[in-house]
Amino acid sequence: MPATALTNEERREIILEALQPGANLSAIAREHGINRNTIYKYFRYALKDPKQRMQDAEAEATFRRKVWELVR
């Protein structure tokens, strides 16, 4: 499945899966039929896009911190 065929919800699920402790980004990318670098692109978009924000401020802060650590 090409990355453009994924919905925002599917992309968000990939991001959350990738943030799990011990997650293997290459395996996750293969499972979803995308390139590993595409996951990093999703991370960057999630950090910038206000529509991707979570309702809970604490969960949002944790999410953004974890994504930022992976993107750096």
Instruction: Please report where in the chains the tokens 């991707």 appear, as a residue.
Output: 52
- Residue 39 in this model has a pLDDT that exceeds 80: yes
Q: Are 39 and 25 in contact (CB under 8 A)?
A: yes
Give the model's pLDDT for residue 50. 62
36 — pLDDT class (breaks 50, 70, 90): very high
Rounded to an integer, what distance in angstroms lies between the CA atom of residue 44 and that of residue 22?
20
pLDDT at residue 48, rounded to an integer: 73
65, pLDDT greater than 70 = yes
Of residues 44 and 52, more confidently modeled: 44
48 token code pair: 């910038």
The whole-number pLDDT of residue 19 equals 83
- Mean pLDDT across the stretch 35-42? 90
